Amino acid sequence: MLRVQNIHFSIQDKKILDGVSAHFEPCKIHGIIGPNGSGKSTLLKNICRIWEPQSGTILLQGKNYRSLPRKELSALVTLVPQNTAVDFPISVFDIVSMGRNPHRGRFEGMKQKDREIIEQALQQTNIYELKDRNINELSGGEGQLAIIARALATEASLILLDEPTAELDIKHTLAIMHILFELRAQGKTILVTMHDLNLARKFCDTISIIHRGKIFYTGSPAEAFSPENIKQVFDVQVREFKNASTTFLDFYA
């Protein structure tokens, strides 16, 4: 689905991604973790071409993404950014309808199919009853669900989410993670950056650890959170507590 090959990216001579290479298989939830400033958000922005790497290659469904027109790329990959604040009054329905832009001509109006897809995205995120509300009147969790619904409306096969559960209560956090499960079952490929390592351990199929602009580890969650990895990357200790249904990670200095 997605292959990143030797990506280098700098801002004002500060190297952020330093030869990142990774392969993300389809129909899985891929967690991306790492300390603040390690390059997680930058990697997502390079993958969807908000920013472009200074060198290296990104292959999407076997195609070099630089060869794809912007509109075609936007129909294949979509990003739910970390900062989802909207600075102007707009209804939830209109926000979600923006997800249909890659499928419409410059002067083409909304078709019945577009409306059906928008309503389906609203229903899948459980905010259909909020569709006529001003997005600025919603809670943080409801607003985040609206931005995720906009991403779903693109029908993109690759969905990137940058800290989608940051600062949300447990109810909305679990709602978002279960939506990601549903999307995986529908054949979507998901890359999600996370700070909550227990959440990543529980919900992700694979974990990639970014450390100092490089891929430090890629593989199973069970092996990703080894004491050696956690100590080297985060400079803390970790203990595992297991019961019949789950594993809980406890971190300490």
**pLDDT (0 to 100) of residue 58:** 96
Q: Alpha-carbon Rg of the chain, whole angstroms?
A: 19
Sign, Cα dihedral of 172, 44, 234, 15: negative
Q: Report residue 230's pLDDT band, with 50, 70 and 90 as the boundaries.
A: very high
**pLDDT (0 to 100) of residue 188:** 96
Please name which of 142, 195, 147, 206 lies closest in space to residue 169, comparing C-alpha atoms.
142
105, pLDDT greater than 80 = no
Q: Find all residues with CB under 8 Å of 190, minimum gap 6, and list them.
A: 28, 29, 30, 158, 159, 160, 161, 180, 183, 184
Q: What is the DSSP letter of 102?
A: G
Q: What is the DSSP letter of 59?
A: E
- Give the CATH fold of the 2-252 domain: Rossmann fold (3.40.50)
State percent of the chain over pLDDT 90.
79
Q: Report residue 244's pLDDT band, with 50, 70 and 90 as the boundaries.
A: confident
C-beta of residue 135 within 8 angstroms of C-beta of residue 90? yes
Q: d(Cα 209, Cα 38) in Å, to the nearest integer?
A: 9
Assign 37 to helix, strand or coil. Answer: coil
Per-residue b or e along 119-144, where b marks 16 or more CB atoms closer than 10 Å to that residue's CB: bebbebbebeebbeeebeebeebbbb
**pTM (2 decimals)?**
0.94
Q: Tell me which of 17-21, 103-107, 188-192 is least confident.
A: 103-107
Tens digits of per-residue pLDDT, 126-183?
999 999 999 999 998 999 999 999 999 999 999 999 999 988 899 999 999 999 999 9
- Stretch (H or E) spanning 124: helix 112-124
Sign, Cα dihedral of 113, 67, 147, 108: negative
- What would the two tokens of residue 138 be? 């919603």
